[in-house]
Amino acid sequence: MKVAISGAGVAGPAFAHWMVCAGHDITLIEKAPTFRTGGYLIDFWGLGYAITQKMGIEDDLHAAGYRVRELRIADDNGRASARLRVDPMRRALRDRYISLPRGDLAAAIYQTVEPDIETVYSESITALDNRADGVTVAFEHRPPRQFDMVIGADGLHSNVRALAFGPDARYEHYLGCQVAACVLDGYRPCDDLVYVTHNVPGRQIGRFTLRGDRTLVLFIFRSPTPTLPTDLDSCKALLRREFADAGWESARILEALDDVEDIYLDVVSQIRMDKWSTGRVGLIGDAAACVSLLAGEGTGLAIAEAYVLAGELTRAGDDIGAAFEAYENRLRGFIGAKQDGAQRFISFFATRTKLGIWLRNLAVRTIDIPPVGNLVMGRILRDDIVLPEYELPDRKPRR
């Protein structure tokens, strides 16, 4: 089949990988001018990690990633109010756990299929004619083309979802928080392999030291109505308003924003839909069922969705309707449970009150006790689903 995939994040290249294994003709469409690496740091484990092992890229992920030692919660004076060592998580996951920039994970997957697919940059889909015999795709800059199937893997604000299913307002559930991230050059102090965070009611600011004398800074703040300025100066002004009185290293970090040339800013939202497909158009990853940026496992779930959809297409003999139905039936309940659990994470990151922060820190100190941590982490990190072993050949990255 000729398959168009919108979005060169994680889900799109992951789906492309398994579809190339099955012998299909893939066109990957990305609105950015080049493949984007870097980005905010994610913790990667579970189903997604197991599938990347099948792809043969585990060593690449560890080379790009960081073996974080601990989460440290700092008070105004920089002293540790609580800390959470990562070793119990690694033990619970049998060492199948790594922290790495989201874009670097996407790049490792993309490199497995780059020579075998068509990648179109600086392009967006503007219309879909979704018929029984195929899909006509109209583009912003080039003539229309015919495909057998179109997959939206273009994230929370999916263009394909809007064209095929309707506006975001029908499906997006804002969870009352926003996040921002940027990278600072030469920031001090540095704490290697330690994620250091600081909270005041409704807000959290954290930093992590990257290679190359860079520091990733993450801002999380509650906001009843989301504000998403489109220019850099307005983003900086928003963060300065929100964190001007946050204490700890906030003043130093906000001053360092003067030299920042790029800030990622978005909402913390979920996507909840009754159907992930219509005709020959389907959705995977955040486009279909975003669990939210603070859930901790969204990237791995996107990789699992890509694997399952490709596998079900193979099992169905490329009967697209049957494959979409099997894909949804297998994953919908599992993803829905992950979405329900993800809403509770917001209180960890953006605790509303001083008492809540104190109680949260007490819970973190308790979890850091090894027997308790082993029990709690094993329960939190467990994926209560077993995916089929589809007849999709494993591929190794081409060098």
Confirm whether 341 is domain-assigned.
yes
Name the domain boundary from 268, 283, 305.
Answer: 268
Is residue 75 domain-resident? no
Q: Tell me how far apart the alpha carbons of residues 209 and 218 are, in angstroms, rounded to a whole number.
A: 12
- Which of 248, 268, 288 is a domain's end point? 268
Residues 282 and 361 occupy one common structural domain: yes
Which letter, b or e, does each residue of 264-278 get, where b requires 16 or more Cβ atoms within 10 Å of its Cβ? bbbbbbbbebeebbe
Q: Walk along the chain (399 residues) in steps of 10 and give the mean pLDDT of each run.
A: 96 96 95 88 89 93 93 94 86 85 93 95 97 96 97 96 95 94 94 95 95 94 91 95 95 95 92 96 96 81 96 91 96 89 78 92 86 66 78 57
Q: What pLDDT is attached to residue 120?
A: 97
Do 154 and 286 sit in the same domain of this protein? yes
pLDDT for the residue numbered 399: 39
Shared domain check, 15 and 130? yes
Is 184:260 a contact under the CB 8 Å cutoff? yes
Same domain for 351 and 245?
Answer: no
Same domain, 264 and 283: no
- Do 274 and 161 lie in one domain? The reply is yes
Judgement on whether residues 158 and 225 belong to the same structural domain of the protein: no
Q: Are residues 256 and 275 in the same domain?
A: no
**Secondary structure element (H or E) that encloses residue 181, with its range:** strand 172-185
| CA Rg value for the chain | 21
Whether residue 57 is found in the same domain as residue 30? yes
Give me the CATH number covering residue 255: 3.30.9.30
Looking at this protein, which amino acid is placed at residue 292?
S
- Are 271 and 292 in contact by the 8 Å Cβ rule? The answer is no
From the list 57, 45, 47, the residue with the least C-alpha distance to 17 is 57
* Final residue before a domain boundary, out of 201, 235, 268: 268
Angle at 345 between CA 73 and CA 192, to 5 degrees: 35
Domain of residue 153, residue span:
2-68+94-172+269-381
Please tell me whether residues 200 and 227 are part of one structural domain: yes
User: Are 167 and 179 in a shared domain?
Assistant: no
Does a structural domain hold residue 213?
Answer: yes
What pLDDT does residue 395 have?
56
Q: How many domains does the chain have?
A: 2
Do residues 343 and 216 both lie within one domain?
Answer: no
Does the residue 399 lie in any domain? no
